[in-house]
Amino acid sequence: MMLASIDAMRPVFLMVVGLSLLLVAWRLTRRCSGWSARMLMGGALLLAFGYGLVLPLYAAEVIVPFRNLAFYPHADPALTLGWHVSKLFAMNGGWLLFGMGLALYSGLFESAPARKTQTVSAHP
């Protein structure tokens, strides 16, 4: 019964989310090149690391959460802080790069071409 519970399935769900984000980004960047593909894949790799490795370790309580450090007297504070910083970097940096890569891929940052104005001379 414990195997089918929500708490037991959460690490598996997080791994599937990380792999699906990586697969979607890979499929999008197969035919494009440049900074949009690099940023999209960089963000997807960071998110796959965060969702596929770091967050499941937190959900399985292999890594002590930073907010619960007082409840685990055997936990190393430096190690806990290091994992917390790596989680923050992977997730926040991953979403930032993934979002900017999608914006570049869709052409959101491109400016419209300048309209040519017709000049009228005073003398024919």
Q: Is residue 2 part of a domain?
A: no
pLDDT, residue 124, reads: 62
How large is the C-alpha radius of gyration of the chain?
A: 23
For the segment 8-15, the average pLDDT, to the nearest whole number, is 83
| d(C-alpha 58, C-alpha 48), whole Å | 15
Q: Is residue 119 part of a domain?
A: no
Total domains in the chain come to: 1
Q: Is residue 55 part of a domain?
A: yes
Q: Is residue 71 part of a domain?
A: no
The structure's pTM equals 0.78
Q: Which residue has the higher pLDDT, 114 or 2?
A: 114
What's the one-letter identity of residue 65? P
Q: Is residue 122 part of a domain?
A: no
Q: Is residue 120 part of a domain?
A: no
Name the pLDDT band for 10 (thresholds 50, 70, 90): confident
Domain limits at 27?
7-64+77-106
Q: Is residue 19 part of a domain?
A: yes
pLDDT tens digits, 60-105: 888 888 777 777 778 888 888 899 999 999 999 999 999 999 998 8
Q: Is residue 58 part of a domain?
A: yes
